[in-house]
A and B are shown apart, each in its own frame.
Chain A
Amino acid sequence: MSTTISVQEAAAESTGAENTEPVFSVDGLWKVFGPKADRVPADPELAALSAAELRSRTGCTAAVRDVSFDVRKGEVFVVMGLSGSGKSTLVRCLTRLIEPTAGTIAIDGEDVRAMDRARLRELRRHRAAMVFQHFGLLPHRSVLDNVAYGLEVQGVPKRERRAKAQEVVAKVGLEGMEQRRPGQLSGGQQQRVGLARALAVDPEVLLFDEPFSALDPMIRRDMQEEVIRLHGEEGRTMVFITHDLNEALRLGDRIALMRDGRIVQLGTPEEIVGSPADDYVREFVRDVPREQVMTVRGAMRAASAEEAGEGPALSPEATISQAIEAVARSGQTARVVDQGRCLGVVDSDALLEVVAGTAGTAGTAGTATRSTRSAGSAGSAGATGPVGSAREGVA
Chain B
Amino acid sequence: MATGTASAPRTALPGLPGFLGFLRRPAVGKLVLLAVAAAVLVPLADSRWASGSWPGALTVDLTEPLGSASTWIIDNRDSHPLFLYFFGHVSNAVVLAVRAVYLVLLAAGWAGVTAAAALVAWRVAGVRLALGTAAAVLTCGLLGMWVPTMQTLALMVVAVLASVALGALLGLAAGLSDRTYRALRPVLDTMQVLPAFAYLLPVVLVFGIGVPAAVLATVVYAAPPMARLTALGLRGADAGVMEAVESLGTTARQRLFTARLPLARKELLLGLNQTIMMALSMAVIASVIGAGGLGDRVYQALASVDVGAALAAGIPIVLLAVVLDRVTGAAGSAGSAAPAGEKPEGAGSRRTGWAGRADRAGWHSWAGRPGWVLAAVAALAVAVAGRLAGRLDWPETWIVTIAEPVNRAVDWMTDHLYSGVPYVGGTADWAAHFTTGVLNPVRDGLQWLPWWAVLLTVAALAWPIGTWRTALTAVLAMAAIGVLGVWQPSLDTLSQVLAAVAVTLVLGFGTAVAAARSERCERLLRPVLDVFQTMPQFVYLIPVVALFGVGRAPAVAAAVVYALPAVVRITTQGLRNVDPAAMESARSMGATGWQQLRQVQLPLARPALLLAVNQGVVLVLAVVIIGGLVGGGALGYDVVFGLAQGDLATGLVAGAAIVCLGLMLDRVTQPTRGRTRKGA
Binding site for B on A (CB under 8 A): 95, 97, 120-126, 129-130, 132-141, 149-150, 152-154, 181-184, 194, 197, 201
Contacts and interface: CB of A to CB of B under 8 A. Distances in A.
Contacts of B248: 124-125, 129, 149-150, 153, 197, 201
B254 A153 contact: yes
B246 interface: yes
Contacts of B336: 140
A183 B240 contact: no
B244 A137 contact: yes
A124 B244 contact: no
B338 interface: yes
Contacts of B249: 120-126, 150, 153-154
Interface in B235-269: 238, 240-251, 254, 258-259, 262-263, 265
A158 to B, nearest CB: 14
Contacts of A121: 249-251
5 contacts: A121-B250, A136-B243, A138-B258, A139-B339, A140-B336
Contacts of A130: 244, 247
B339 to A, nearest CB: 6
Nearest to B335: A140
Contacts of B246: 97, 124
A164 to B, nearest CB: 14
Contacts of B338: 139-140, 183
Given A136-B238, A183-B338, 14 more contacts: A95-B247, A97-B243, A121-B249, A121-B250, A125-B248, A132-B247, A136-B242, A136-B243, A136-B245, A138-B245, A140-B262, A140-B263, A140-B338, A153-B249
B339 A183 contact: yes
B337 A140 contact: yes
- What's the dominant secondary structure at chain B's contact region? helix
A7 B613 CA distance: 82
Given A140-B263, A182-B337, A132 B243 contact: yes
Interface string B321-362: 000000000000000111100000000000000000000000
Nearest to A123: B249
Contacts, number: 78
A236 B243 CA distance: 23
Given A97-B243, A97-B246, A134-B240, A139 B337 contact: yes
Contacts of A139: 241, 263, 337-339
Contacts of A140: 262-263, 265, 336-338
Interface in B205-260: 238, 240-251, 254, 258-259
A124 B247 contact: yes
Given A140-B263, A149-B258, A132 B245 contact: no
A149 B242 CA distance: 13
Nearest to A155: B254
Contacts of A135: 240, 244
Query: B243, B249, B251, B258: which has the most chain A beta carbons within 10 Å?
Result: B249
Contacts of A152: 258
Contacts of A138: 241, 245, 258-259, 262-263
Interface residues of B, number: 23
Contacts of A95: 247
A153 B245 CA distance: 9
Query: B240, B247, B262: which has the most chain A beta carbons within 10 Å?
Result: B247
B364 to A, nearest CB: 15
Contact of B250 (A129, A153, A181, A183): A153
A177 to B, nearest CB: 14
B258 A137 contact: no
Nearest to A117: B251
Nearest to A180: B337
A168 to B, nearest CB: 14
B199 to A, nearest CB: 36
A74 B240 CA distance: 28
A124 B244 CA distance: 11
A222 to B, nearest CB: 22
B247 A97 contact: yes
Contacts of A201: 248
Contacts of A154: 249
A46 to B, nearest CB: 29
Contacts of A153: 248-250, 254, 258
Q: What 5 pairs between A and B have smallest CB-CB spacing? A: A136-B244, A124-B249, A125-B249, A181-B337, A121-B249
A284 B147 CA distance: 80
Nearest to A134: B240
Contact of B244 (A120, A122, A123, A132): A132
A182 B262 CA distance: 14
A95 B263 CA distance: 24
A165 B673 CA distance: 44
Query: A181, A184, A201: which has the most chain B beta carbons within 10 Å?
Result: A181
A318 to B, nearest CB: 39
Contacts of B339: 139, 183
A10 to B, nearest CB: 41
Nearest to A127: B249
A137 B337 contact: no
A153 B259 CA distance: 11
A136 B240 contact: yes
Contacts of B240: 132-136
Contacts of B254: 153
A149 B245 CA distance: 9
A126 B248 CA distance: 8
Contacts of B251: 121
Nearest to B241: A136
Interface in B520-577: none
A139 B341 CA distance: 14
A183 B337 contact: yes
Contacts of A122: 249
B241 A137 contact: yes
Query: B248, B259, B265, B337: which has the most chain A beta carbons within 10 Å?
Result: B248
Contacts of B263: 138-140
Contacts of B262: 138, 140-141
A141 to B, nearest CB: 8
Contacts of A194: 244
Contacts of B243: 97, 132, 136
Contacts of A137: 241, 244
Contacts of A129: 247-248
A132 B259 CA distance: 16
A150 B250 CA distance: 8
A182 B244 CA distance: 14
Contacts of B247: 95, 97, 124, 129-130, 132, 136
A126 B242 CA distance: 18
A125 B338 CA distance: 26
A121 B253 CA distance: 13
A153 B247 CA distance: 11
Contacts of A149: 245, 248, 258
A36 to B, nearest CB: 20
B353 to A, nearest CB: 20
Contacts of B337: 139-140, 181-184
A136 to B, nearest CB: 3
A205 to B, nearest CB: 12
Nearest to A121: B249
B331 to A, nearest CB: 14
Nearest to A200: B248
Nearest to B247: A130
B579 to A, nearest CB: 23
A63 to B, nearest CB: 16
Nearest to B246: A97
Nearest to B338: A139
Nearest to B244: A136
Contacts of A197: 248
A161 B349 CA distance: 42
A181 B258 CA distance: 16
A201 B265 CA distance: 27
A97 B239 CA distance: 12
A134 B246 CA distance: 15
A182 B254 CA distance: 20
